[in-house]
């Protein structure tokens, strides 16, 4: 166990902000908004890493410095100690972020959440004709 602890500190860190399409580059997004996903969570990112066969560790108590209200980050091992890649299809941080952002929308927990949300959006649209600027 002591031999593994120093290694985790050298793993790549992925904050959910990095792949959040709702954030700007100034807020911390690191990939293009078209390829990013909407409001990812640490658990979804971790599940995507396990799907990609990459070792990972979730750190719930950590926060992104620019947005400290959103808690959690994921550490991922890209290279083994001998220098070989854990998954040859993912050689860099950027590729990892792109793959994870592609997988998060298809996450099983996310697909169940999206169905009720789309039906509730239809009700407020009937009120959209009201209002406007009043003339004096």
Any alpha helices (H) in 42-103, and if so which ranges?
42-51, 93-103
- CA separation for the pair 50, 100 (Å, rounded): 10
Residues 60, 54 contacting (CB under 8 angstroms): no
- pLDDT tens for each residue of 82-100: 889 999 999 999 999 999 9
SS3 label, residue 109: helix
Residue 126's pLDDT is: 55
Residue 117's pLDDT is: 47
- pLDDT tens for each residue of 106-118: 888 877 655 554 4
- pLDDT tens for each residue of 7-49: 788 899 999 999 999 999 999 999 999 999 999 999 999 999 9
CB atoms within 10 A of CB 20: 24
For residue 123, what are its two tokens?
């009700």
Residue 135's pLDDT is: 75
């Amino acid at each position: 166990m002591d031999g593994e602890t120093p290694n985790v500190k050298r793993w790549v860190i992925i904050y959910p902000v990095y792949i959040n399409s709702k954030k700007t580059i100034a807020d911390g997004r690191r990939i293009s908004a078209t390829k990013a996903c909407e409001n990812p969570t640490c658990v979804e990112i971790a599940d995507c890493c396990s799907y990609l066969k990459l070792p990972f560790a979730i750190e719930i108590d950590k926060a992104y410095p620019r947005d400290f209200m959103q808690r959690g980050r994921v550490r991922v091992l890209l290279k083994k100690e001998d220098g070989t890649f854990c998954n040859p299809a993912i050689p860099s941080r950027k590729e990892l972020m792109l793959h994870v952002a592609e997988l998060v929308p298809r996450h099983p927990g996310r697909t169940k959440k999206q169905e009720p949300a789309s039906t509730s959006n239809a009700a407020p649209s009937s009120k959209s004709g009201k209002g406007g600027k009043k003339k004096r």
